[in-house]
Amino acid sequence: MFLLLNPTSFLSLLITIITLISSTASQPTYTYHFCSDPQNSTENTNYDSNLSALLSSLSSKASLNSFYQDSSNGIYSLYLCRGDVSNNTCQTCINNATKEIQRQCASNGTAIIWYDECMLRYSIKNFLGVSQTSPRLLMSNTQNTTSPDEKNIDALALIYPLIVEIPYTKMMYGTDNKSASHDGSPNTYALVQCSRDINSSNCRSCLEDLNEAANRCCKSKIGWRILAPSCSLRYEEYEFYQPPSTPVPVPSAPGPEPVPGESNTKTWFIKISERWSIHLP
Ligand SMILES: *[C@@H]1O[C@H](CO)[C@@H](O)[C@H](O)[C@H]1NC(C)=O
Ligand SMILES: *[C@@H]1O[C@H](CO)[C@@H](O)[C@H](O)[C@H]1NC(C)=O
Ligand SMILES: *[C@@H]1O[C@H](CO)[C@@H](O)[C@H](O)[C@H]1NC(C)=O
Ligand SMILES: *[C@@H]1O[C@H](CO)[C@@H](O)[C@H](O)[C@H]1NC(C)=O
Ligand SMILES: *[C@@H]1O[C@H](CO)[C@@H](O)[C@H](O)[C@H]1NC(C)=O
Ligand SMILES: *[C@@H]1O[C@H](CO)[C@@H](O)[C@H](O)[C@H]1NC(C)=O
Ligand SMILES: *[C@@H]1O[C@H](CO)[C@@H](O)[C@H](O)[C@H]1NC(C)=O
Ligand SMILES: *[C@@H]1O[C@H](CO)[C@@H](O)[C@H](O)[C@H]1NC(C)=O
């Protein structure tokens, strides 16, 4: 088929493909945000400028650290990248998050924003080291499993060992998967992660809370995720993370600027085709 193209159109096809790949790889996928605690700037004249300085300092950390916390200037903050994302993706995600959170929660004392690849939060109240399971965001696939009225044994079998083991690891992040078997059970993939400001026992109880919530809301569904400030849990019948020990491809040269429309279309296409429904607390 390529033989039918002249070298110039082949080259432009190649560039288009590379552009598509690099833009979908590096563009973070926004999920949701919550703002709370109205902040009266007249009482705290420096709040806006302190916050914006803090956020740009967080953004500058993200190329080297997948987690960072800060408590300067009377504002407590942290960000966390998903355990499998590259430094480059982490940086891109946090950079976008610091801008979006300012746009969405301009004059609020507390805010949190989630992406597929990272999360960022800040507050005038000290939350560092405190396990928080709300506000929480619950997203589930609208499609039912083959036996929606029974416990989802496939999900439980995959997630429970992770909840028991992962809190005691350094990164507090882990994934597992199981291949489809002849009895008709599907491929399954699960991911758990805690924010590394909390300790192992808090991490474990945070994950147990979310797992209970998942059993209440989502046992009939083929895929779901629950995102809380201190931990998160996700289960799907397709691979949605980078498998461990697979080297993350590093682009040799910066690719062309991503074309905004294309990556947005891709994002929406994924969301619509999976038919997500979102439940808020
Ligand atoms: C965010 O702050 C604004 C301005 O202070 C306030 O009007 C709004 O109610 C706050 N939002 C929430 C959810 O607290
Ligand atoms: C902020 O607080 C000051 C002093 O307490 C008050 O005069 C002002 O009306 C408040 N502004 C808002 C937007 O609430
Ligand atoms: C990526 O980040 C890790 C820490 O999360 C650091 O050890 C490593 O040096 C970074 N890699 C590059 C290429 O900067
Ligand atoms: C902003 O930072 C200054 C010091 O740089 C501090 O005095 C002030 O209290 C901070 N403002 C708030 C709202 O925390
Ligand atoms: C953040 O990324 C989204 C696409 O995911 C983009 O539409 C938006 O303009 C970006 N925001 C900023 C402030 O860069
Ligand atoms: C974990 O932190 C909590 C406070 O959030 C504390 O009560 C608990 O003792 C800590 N557990 C361990 C094992 O350090
Ligand atoms: C999914 O299963 C639940 C529980 O049996 C049932 O109430 C619901 O109608 C089903 N939804 C779909 C889309 O099949
Ligand atoms: C699935 O699990 C196997 C064995 O634990 C592992 O080798 C493989 O990398 C995993 N695949 C993914 C996508 O996590």
Nearest partner of 48 among 78, 75, 76, judged by Cα:
75
DSSP state of 4: G
What is the arithmetic mean of pLDDT over 85-102?
A: 96
Domain with CATH 3.30.430.20 in the chain: 28-123, 137-244+256-280
HSE of 184, CA atoms in CB hemisphere, 13 A: 3
Mean pLDDT calculated for residue range 144-150: 87
Q: Whose alpha carbon is nearest atom 12 of ligand 5?
A: 96
Is pLDDT at 253 greater than 80 in this prediction? Answer: no
**pTM (2 decimals)?**
0.81
Q: Is the pLDDT of residue 228 over 80?
A: yes
Distance 57 CA to ligand 5 centre (A): 19
Architecture per CATH, 28-123: 2-Layer Sandwich (3.30)
Q: Cα of 26 to ligand 4 centre, how many Å?
A: 35
What does the pLDDT average to over 145-149? 87
CA of 91 to the centre of ligand 5 (A): 13
Question: How high is the pLDDT of residue 169?
Answer: 97
Residues of the chain with pLDDT > 90, as a percent, come to 60
Residue 132 has a pLDDT of 96
Residue 252's SS3 state is coil
**Given this model, what pLDDT does residue 69 score?**
96
Is 177 a pocket residue for ligand 4 (Cβ < 6 Å)?
no
| Residue 50 alpha carbon, nearest atom of ligand 4 | 1
Least confident of 102-116, 150-164, 266-280: 266-280
Please give the pLDDT value at position 280: 55
pLDDT band at 278 (very low <50, low <70, confident <90, very high): low
Over residues 38-64, the mean pLDDT reads 86
* Ligand 2 nearest-atom number relative to CA 43: 2
| Atom 12 (ligand 8) nearest CA | 243
User: What pLDDT score was predicted for residue 48?
Assistant: 87
Q: What is the pLDDT of residue 270?
A: 29
In the prediction, which pLDDT does 239 show? 95
Residue ranges lining ligand 6, Cβ < 6 Å: 129-130, 199, 201-202
Q: Among the atoms of ligand 7, which is closest to the Cα of residue 144?
A: 1
Closest listed ligand to the CA of 91: 3
Does residue 267 register a pLDDT over 50? no
What is the pLDDT confidence band of residue 73, given thresholds at 50, 70 and 90? confident
DSSP 221: B
Write the burial class of residue 190 (CB in 10 Å: 0-12 exposed, 13-18 middle, 19+ buried).
buried
Residues lining ligand 5, judged by CB closer than 6 Å? Answer: 27-28, 30, 96, 99-100
The CATH topology of domain 137-244+256-280 is Killer Toxin P4; Chain A (3.30.430)
Ligand found nearest the CA of 201: 6
Specify the DSSP element, H or E, that contains 33: strand 30-38
Q: Which residue has the higher pLDDT, 210 or 275?
A: 210
Residue 9 is predicted with a pLDDT of 55
